Amino acid sequence: MTQEELDALMSGDIDLDEAYEESESLADEEELPLEEEEQEDSDSKIDPETYRVSAMSSWPPPPPTDDNKMVHQLDDVTKESEEKASEIFDLIEGISEDLTQGEKDVKAIRTVIDSNVELFHTLSMKFPHVEAFKTQLTQNENALEQLEAILEKLQNGGDTIMNIMDIMQYQDIHRQKIERVINVMRALSTYMNHLFSGKIDDSKRVTSAVHIHGDTTTEDVVSSDDIEALLASFGQK
């Protein structure tokens, strides 16, 4: 009931019973839309199991589950990336050790073939009519060339492994950048918590008023109970 209706009631221009019946009738008419509104609110509740984050929509926000907590997710990223990077470094180190050992084996074989080439070269010079010495000399020289090609590939593989390890160092830089973002977010969260903190515990605070003077609202300024209490107080005077 508005202030004008209250003034009319006090002057006797409005019948209280008739106004009360009219208010009950209006309440019955508004009951259905209210139920529909409650149903819409119920339908709009977010299901964390089916919610999908989309850059095209800004509302409603994602539910505060572990999968949507930003700092929680960033912590998981830094932890998992560091673990995977460590596993990759271990694998790369194993490959590097195999390549180094392969170079040593090839060099050892090359020493033997160098000796064979020198031997068969000497035999071919002393016995030029023996074709077997010439054949062995040619085969050992070809094997020596193949060994040199294999050794070059192993050395190139070792250089590539070193380049990969240098590139992987950027993973640690990325982790540090993410940790910086996390620290900034946590600092902002702490700052906002201190900024909006109060001396009174929230559980001890009174509820907010439905209507304050100057608000634009369609609700009654004075309820029926307030009117009856007002009239009863007049009767006691």
Chain Cα centroid distance, residue 42:
28
CB atoms within 10 A of CB 43: 7
How far apart, in whole angstroms, are the C-alpha atoms of residue 186 and residue 189? 5
How far apart, in whole angstroms, are the C-alpha atoms of residue 78 and residue 175? 6
> Cβ-count burial of 126 within 10 angstroms (0-12 exposed, 13-18 middle, 19+ buried)?
exposed
The pLDDT of residue 17: 55
| Alpha-carbon dihedral angle through residues 132, 138, 143, 145, given to the nearest 10 degrees | 170
pLDDT by position in tens, the chain (length 237): 555 665 655 555 555 555 555 555 544 544 444 444 444 444 456 666 666 666 666 666 677 777 778 888 888 888 998 899 899 999 999 999 999 999 999 999 999 999 999 999 999 999 989 899 999 999 999 999 999 999 999 999 999 999 998 888 888 888 889 999 999 989 998 999 888 888 888 788 777 666 666 666 655 555 667 667 766 766 655
Residue with tokens 């030029």: 128
Residues 161, 162, 163, CA angle at the centre, nearest 5°? 90
What H or E segment, with its residue span, contains residue 223? none
The pLDDT of residue 73: 85
The pLDDT of residue 31: 45
> Cβ-count burial of 199 within 10 angstroms (0-12 exposed, 13-18 middle, 19+ buried)?
exposed
Spatial CB neighbours of 228, under 8 Å, sequence gap ≥ 6: none
Residue with tokens 């208010």: 23
Spatial CB neighbours of 137, under 8 Å, sequence gap ≥ 6: 117, 120, 121, 123, 124
Q: Which amino acid belongs to residue 105?
A: D
Residues 194, 200, 202, CA angle at the centre, nearest 5°? 85
| Positive or negative torsion for Cα 37, 42, 46, 50 | negative
Q: Are 175 and 78 a contacting pair, CB within 8 Å?
A: yes
